[in-house]
Chain A
């Protein structure tokens, strides 16, 4: 018994000593820990001020980077579209209204040798002869079409570029025409070149997402060349043309949508025009890029159909999962379902119909909690999202859209956790939709916008 008492005593003494024991911590331990948790290994005295400054600076940097990128993209693409569309607007009526000449009379081209000389890529050449105008022969059944939807071109192998035709009242000036056809050596007057460049850019913007070359040349047996684009390119162009002729310049939009959130945005109207299917002239004269009218052929060009769009509020439902990466930095990924509906009214008297687009999206990004109190936390974050259209219709026509829609978002938000893993959040979000849809949507109209999102968050 005595031995047992002694036994317990020495163990108790040993326990007391061991429990109170301290041991020197090797140098560099704190720095290694701080590095592991993603923190500045700042001394205590500096920690009072520095972390807040760093957080604020980092938060501002995240927002600034995304916003700058968004503005850069916003200020380029939409501006180009607007400018080009204006050109189209200005010129279209004169083309439509103009009675095409049936003679081969040629008039001098408008040239600007000074401007041409400044551009090394466009050699200055004296203009020679020009056709007075060109002819466009409509597809046989086009005039009788009453469909209110844009024209589909699935069965058209080669068609004239209606947009090109609409933009050129004056015939294209071809000078120094080589013996053998070589489109690279054609020289045009400066006005044509500038318009052509704008036009090409417009198509390039519209189609670069599909890596599709809109321009194709068609040369007949007399080496007559027509600028054409093929059926697939035209189909995209048809859709794009409804987008690139805006009624209003895109502005900042306060819209609200999100995971289960129902809210409103302002209505907007965008006019668009569809391409028209035209055939090459029957007897084009030599030396013309676009042929003058064939004798005896009466032009019959239907005016382009314009559409007014009334976009309904997009609805998005989604679920987001957040996973702590290190410290207060979280990675997040989710799954979104978005429905976008628009009322479309053609201006040719056709019935109003609906455009309906449904998308599945995967958002992914990072979120940094910079303040936390009990269950409430605030955060900044950057996010990307890729979406794919799972169903789309334009009236009765089903539309297949294979291109992915990419977008970037900068967020500042707050979250309140009911439990350890589940909470609700609200986040004002600055969004930019990088890629556009071939159908006109609110996102196409306002690729850069500010919105509000609410939802359920699962942290794990």
Chain B
């Protein structure tokens, strides 16, 4: 199995084996991440393709800085490509007005718990995130899951920081609602609690 460093060096030389190894190792991870952003499997496939094409053609600009740096570099490309995709579909242009179409967020007391989240399988969580409205989903992904600050989000999306913060709160509330609803419908909560009794 090739190391991350060997993969990056091989890709820089245009080595087909390394290129394939890069794809095999990181495509499932990036597919999940991109799906979280674009919210659709077909679109995610297109964005994934663009991501790898960019990675192969821009590999000369990558500088290896230790284990994990290649994955981080690919992740940045995937996130930026996803945002570009959403912009190209004009899904982000209505970000600031999306808030008007959404009801006020539920009370904070109704938010989910770590136990509830852990009771769900990963694909369910991804689908819940993917179902969020485009603007909320984007801010939630950037802030909560990929560690961007509100300032960076505001710059990326062309909105102000307050708007970013506001939409994050709404996104979290909606997601908490979804989690609770899903657990109630599937009676998972009781099952999970029984496991720890």
Residues of chain A whose beta carbon lies under 8 Å from any beta carbon of chain B: 3, 6-7, 9-15, 17-26, 29-30, 32-34, 36-37, 39-40, 42-44, 47-48, 50-51, 324, 326-328, 369-373, 420
B114: CB under 8 A from chain A? yes
Q: Are A15 and B145 in contact (CB under 8 A)?
A: yes
A33 touches B49 (CB 8 A): yes
Asked whether any CB of chain A lies closer than 8 Å to the CB of B14, the reply is yes
20 contacts between A and B (CB under 8 A): A3-B111, A18-B126, A18-B145, A21-B32, A21-B125, A22-B32, A22-B122, A23-B28, A23-B35, A25-B48, A30-B20, A33-B23, A33-B49, A33-B53, A33-B56, A36-B49, A40-B16, A47-B15, A47-B17, A372-B12
A18 contacts B116, C-beta separation under 8 Å: no
- Given A37-B57, A42-B16, 15 more pairs with CB closer than 8 A: A6-B111, A9-B113, A10-B112, A13-B114, A15-B145, A17-B117, A21-B36, A21-B122, A22-B29, A23-B28, A25-B45, A26-B45, A30-B20, A37-B19, A43-B20
Q: Are B31 and A22 in contact (CB under 8 A)?
A: yes
**A39 near B16: Cβ-Cβ < 8 Å:** yes
Which residue of B is nearest A27, CB measured? B45
- Distance (whole angstroms) from the CB of A331 to the closest CB of chain B: 14
What residues of B have a CB within 8 angstroms of the CB of A32 in the complex?
49
Q: Are B28 and A22 in contact (CB under 8 A)?
A: yes
Interface positions of B from 19 to 44, Cβ below 8 Å from A: 19-21, 23-24, 27-29, 31-33, 35-36, 41, 44
Q: In the bound complex, do residue B125 and residue A14 qualify as a contact, i.e. CB atoms below 8 Å apart?
A: yes
- Looking at chain B's contact residues, the main secondary structure is helix
Asked if B13 and A371 make an inter-chain contact with CB atoms under 8 angstroms apart, the answer reads yes
Q: Are A33 and B16 in contact (CB under 8 A)?
A: no
The residue that B16 contacts in the complex, of A15, A23, A25, A50, with Cβ under 8 A, is A50
A30 to B14, CA, bound (A): 16
A-B pair number, CB within 8 angstroms? 130
Contact residues of B between 108 and 148, Cβ < 8 Å to A: 108-109, 111-114, 116-118, 120, 122-123, 125-126, 129, 144-145
Known: A7-B111, A14-B145, A44-B20. A373 touches B27 (CB 8 A): no
Please give me the residue from chain B that is nearest to A45 by CB atom: B17
Query: How near does chain B come to A438, taking the closest CB pair, in angstroms?
Result: 45
Q: A3 and B109: CB pair below 8 A?
A: yes
Contact B28 A24 (CB under 8 A): yes
Q: Which of B16, B53, B56, B112 contacts A47 (CB 8 A)?
A: B16
Q: Which residues of B contact A371 (CB under 8 A)?
A: 13
Give Cα A51 to B44, complex, Å.
29
Is the CB–CB distance between B144 and A15 below 8 Å?
Answer: yes
How far apart are the CA atoms of A369 and B13 in the complex, in Å?
A: 9
How many Å lie between the Cα of A22 and that of B144 in the bound state? 18
With a cutoff of 8 Å between Cβ atoms, the chain B residues found around residue A3 in the complex are 108-109, 111
Cβ-based interface call for B172 (8 A)? yes
Cβ < 8 Å to A, chain B residues 98-112: 108-109, 111-112
